[in-house]
Amino acid sequence: MQCKTGKQKNVNNEKSEINKPKTRKQETTEITTTTIKTQFKTGRITRNKNKWCVPSFCIHKPNVKQIKTRKTMLYYNFNYKEFTYRFGMTEHDNGKKSRRNKVLLNFIKDKNLLKECIRKNDFTLLNIPNVAEFKKTMFNKVMEEGRQGENLPYKVELINYTFRSNRYSTDEMKGLCEDSDYKSCRYINHKNNGRIFKMKAGKFIRNLILETEFGRKLSEPTLIYLQETFSEDWQTYSMSTLPKNNLYVNDNFRDIYSSSECEGDFCSCMMNRGFHTFYKDAVKASAAYLRNAEGKIVARCVVYNEVHEEGSEKVWKLAERQYSTNQDNLLKRALVEALIRGNYIDGYKQVGFDCHNAKGFVDVYGNSLEDKDFWIDCDLETYELLSYQDSFKWYDISKRRAYNFSDVYYDYCLDTTDGSIDGEDDNENYDEFHDEYTDADTVTIIYHGREMTCSVDSLEEFIWIESEEIYYHKDDLEICPVCDDWLLENDGYKSDLTGETYCCVDCLNRAEDEYREEHCHEEIELANAA
């Protein structure tokens, strides 16, 4: 037989190769997902019942679930190690674990999203690295589609966003309410003779999102997340326009760690401990805080003025974790916004992040800095006072550097509450909630959205939530009216019919059925009367 190349093809040799006895290695050869994907399409591999067949021999079919998973993973830009870093489990002090970036993981696991990405051959949405980028990407997609939509003629300007709508627009107030209602957005309704109304920020942004085709394809958990984050951002933005709180940036560390100067409970283990001199003596930092009209501090943080980026000559000004009156996130956001407007910082620890996330910084535009490694100069001896460090906790005493990442040589950890590197009493545990040392074991609890430690002998105010596998304070919980089970605030199923929140769909349906049965005779009487 003559081939196209002009060379003689040895058919007999080819047949002899096929008829060779199969070796054990051939029988057990594993076909990779990529091989199956390409070879199957070309016809070199065929499928026959329970086997993947090749011309020379048959290979037993690999686990179907494994093949499906491997094929799916081809569309993502992370391997197992990167997945673990991005979405892995975080172990708490009590041994319990929770998943990082849970909202983002639920988003990229959406099968409909995967199909849409394959159809468009665009996998950008499957490879969002973190929740900060997730929020930014979602709103950018909504705004982009709004600009392209011919049926969305009106412009809605809110903070630094510009959305499009077929019925709403904003005026020169750009959503701010004249009556100082910082939870609502002011808008013009063009479907109602151009009259001016106001609507709760979360509900308003949901309506704008659902006006786009992209927004209508988003899952309910994603919509809720965008509602909540925008609502918080909007309240912070609205509050910052009111001259209620004044910003101070100086070296007055004593006041920000003094309960007599602060309004309410800051839930800080360093309050009134006298360890604040660390920031003057050992590092280059400033105290940043908001005082209200009565002169009380309502929010504070430490700003590190010279933060070095590993592998770069860039020097950052980063605001550490924020604390506020009763751990109010709106006040924390107001502090961050004031620092940004005053050009005091280049980035900050994301609002709500706790001491377990040392790399949770973003820049002033909301871009994640988790992929960057930072360090600060720290001149600290073992006998000198130390204030607990949330982020820059890995200390190389010879280089006089404190790092926000542990993948480096270090001598000491600076996340101690004892006031020194060596510690005062290794036999005692610190009960952060009660601000005291105890001989008893401590567990991690959640109080007003913040993770803290609490003695196992003093858990009277807390309830174990099985679904979250952690203790929550009673003030942060609700009771289901049907089954009397505890549930997280704003985490249940609210009925528009009864106006109450329930722990599950079954309880909601049961309550609504009972409500209809109870009130049906009233409706009949009203109908007869009419």
Q: CA-to-CA distance for 509 and 507, rounded, in angstroms?
A: 6
Question: Which of 90-94, 273-277, 398-402, 413-417: highest mean pLDDT?
Answer: 398-402
Q: Lowest-confidence range among 242-256, 281-295, 400-414?
A: 242-256
Nearest to 223 by CA among 238, 241, 204: 204
Q: Strand 154-158 and strand 161-165: pairing?
A: antiparallel
Please state which architecture CATH assigns to domain 246-413: 3-Layer(aba) Sandwich (3.40)
Please tell me the pTM assigned to this model: 0.48
Provide the pLDDT confidence category of residue 366 given band limits of 50, 70 and 90.
confident
Residue 183 or 439, more confident: 183
pLDDT band at 153 (very low <50, low <70, confident <90, very high): very high
What's the pLDDT score for residue 346? Answer: 96
Q: If you average pLDDT over residues 486-494, what whole number do you get?
A: 79
Task: Give the count of beta carbons closer than 10 Å to the beta carbon of residue 450.
Answer: 19
Inter-CA distances, 146 with 140, 141, 470, Å: 10, 8, 41
Laid out side by side, the sheet with 184-189 consists of 168-169, 184-189, 195-200
- N-term to C-term CA, the chain: 96
Q: What confidence category does residue 96 fall into, taking pLDDT thresholds of 50, 70 and 90? A: confident
What pLDDT is attached to residue 82? 74
pLDDT tens string 191-232: 988 899 999 999 999 999 999 999 999 989 899 999 999 998
Q: What are the backbone dihedrals phi and psi of residue 22, each rounded to the nearest 5 degrees, phi first? A: -75, 135
**266-275 average pLDDT score:** 84
Structural domain spans, the chain: 18-73, 130-240, 246-413, 429-479, 493-529
456 or 83, which is more confident: 456
pLDDT value at position 93?
60
pLDDT in tens, 421-449: 876 544 567 777 887 767 788 888 888 87
Please state, rounded to an integer, the average pLDDT across all residues of the chain. Answer: 80
**Highest-scoring range by mean pLDDT, 57-61, 117-121, 419-423, 425-429:** 117-121
Q: How confident is the model at residue 529, as a pLDDT?
A: 55
Among 7-11, 87-91, 114-118, 385-389, the minimum mean pLDDT is found in: 7-11
The string of DSSP letters for 187-252 reads EEETTTTTEEEEEEHHHHHHHHHHTSHHHHTS-HHHHHHHHHHHHHHHHHHHHHTSTT-EEEEES-
Per-residue pLDDT at 526 exceeds 60: no
Question: Which has the higher per-residue pLDDT, 15 or 319?
Answer: 319
Strand pairing class (297-309; 462-465): unpaired
- Over its C-alpha atoms, the chain yields an Rg (Å, rounded) of 30
